[in-house]
Structure 1
């Protein structure tokens, strides 16, 4: 079945604990799963314990939200990095702090028009979790403003909304260099997801390769066929890893665990390239 290299728990914007994410991967018959919560590694230990119980490979990871110089949101997956490497750890602490400030300001703006409080938002954030717009969405659902997360984003939390507050993010090339410094392997997440907004131009993708990009997530439901072809051609030119993932969020998104996977040979290459921390468990022979 392969390995699903992109999944989220309630330590960021997923709806399940890490152990449940791993259990879902096992039920789906996957050989392994990567836990890639936004800007945090808080779920790694629980996920590793669950991987041992279920006999699946756990690839520790993280997803970093970055912003290009011309304002394009770029997500970079980091696999098997050392979470204690000082420069990366400091950058992630800054990113997490910025998320909290942004969420508080968005809550204040929403509260001017809707019965929403900061306490309502915090009620949907697990201890140690990375705070994001999905938590605001869940709070808006709970107080009856919208029916579900998707409606919250469509009506109130999108980038053109008067309630939207931009987040200060590091540049994608900076994130890639920090991941490499920490012994990790940086992979561009859903890089051609044009339905989410603007995507990087060809020359910008080349800049990421020059910075140390190790792979591209091609098989993802949000990459359209023509975008997948762009990524495949980039990977062929530069001998990059080509991955497939679900971007699973539990009940937070319709994405099904294992709907896209990465073949075992590619995963083995990923594990060999990393020098930060090892994966937990073993690939099938």
Structure 2
């Protein structure tokens, strides 16, 4: 059972990296990828836990990016696997994105604080030192304050794009991000590319552009993809000779995603391992 998309408290998950690996092993996962948003800070702890629990570990990150054409743009996420975490091309972009995520969260909390009992200190209470701060932490603060009952409710109402509380953040162009991941020896896979319930999705032409820049695969099997969307993405992957992955996008408590609910085939993992700069820890 290979699950290539999960999050820990290094970004917006609720389990520590060590606990994430432990929970995955208990769920029957045999190889896990830790892919926190724009950070690799959870890698050492996860690696130590993987050794103790005898589970394979793919070290990765979920990179924020922007796919755009004149007059149009949408945020996209790229899963970077087995890259050099110190490579300057990618590190420059993730550092800038992480810093701007923090500034954006402050602005959103200030706006929310005009109408609801929430402060920056309330948000910080939902994070740990070094956490990549994002909207899920604002959602957790709103839940703790009794404003909404769950993360999902917060995202469906006040935290979604288009509300007066929503603020965007910096992210590199998606083609630039794909090239930076490749420059760092990583393997870029487009995360949940057909999740239209989250907002606009990119057209086929954008996937073609990313493939030309070095995209390795599409995350096809994901709970946010309908059966029709999965079929479309498989057809695109086949036409562009891209790998097909499946993952849980597990965040721990507060989201319905469950470890191993979608998985990746062993031969696809081996293809990813063959392209990466780092080894899969086994």
The residue aligned with 1:90 is 92
TM-superposition CA deviations, 1:210-235 (whole Å, max 9, x none): 11100110111111122212221122
The residue aligned with 1:59 is 58
Paired residues for 1:223-234 under 5 Å? 223-234=225-236
Instruction: Judge conservation of contact 2:208–2:240 (CA < 8 Å) in 1.
Output: no
**Structure 2 CA distance for aligned equivalents of residues 168 and 93 of structure 1:** 11
TM-superposition CA deviations, 1:71-104 (whole Å, max 9, x none): 2121100000001001111111000001001000
**Structure 2 CA distance for aligned equivalents of residues 165 and 43 of structure 1:** 27
Instruction: Judge conservation of contact 1:13–1:252 (CA < 8 Å) in 2.
Output: no
**Structure 2 CA distance for aligned equivalents of residues 174 and 224 of structure 1:** 29
Normalised by the length of structure 2, the TM-score is: 0.97
Following superposition, the deviation at residue 206 of structure 1 comes to 0.5
Is 96-105 or 24-33 further displaced after alignment? Answer: 24-33
TM-superposition CA deviations, 1:12-46 (whole Å, max 9, x none): 11111011111111112121100000000010001
2:108 to 91, 106, 109: 106
The residue aligned with 1:20 is 19
TM-superposition CA deviations, 1:148-173 (whole Å, max 9, x none): 11121122111111100111211111
The answer for unaligned runs of 5 or more in structure 1 is none
The residue aligned with 2:213 is 211
**Structure 2 CA distance for aligned equivalents of residues 115 and 31 of structure 1:** 43
- What is the number of residues matched between the two proteins? 279
The answer for unaligned runs of 5 or more in structure 2 is none
SS in 2 for 1:30: coil
The residue aligned with 2:49 is 50
Instruction: Judge conservation of contact 1:120–1:139 (CA < 8 Å) in 2.
Output: yes
Please list every run of at least 4 consecutive aligned residues from structure 1 whose deviation after the TM superposition is greater than 2 angstroms: none
Q: CA RMSD in A?
A: 1.0
Instruction: Judge conservation of contact 2:6–2:249 (CA < 8 Å) in 1.
Output: yes
TM-superposition CA deviations, 1:122-144 (whole Å, max 9, x none): 11111111000000011111112
SS in 2 for 1:102: helix
Following superposition, the deviation at residue 268 of structure 1 comes to 1.0
Following superposition, the deviation at residue 113 of structure 1 comes to 0.9
The residue aligned with 1:278 is 279
The residue aligned with 2:128 is 126
**Structure 2 CA distance for aligned equivalents of residues 71 and 126 of structure 1:** 32
Following superposition, the deviation at residue 238 of structure 1 comes to 2.3
Normalised by the length of structure 1, the TM-score is: 0.96
The residue aligned with 1:186 is 188
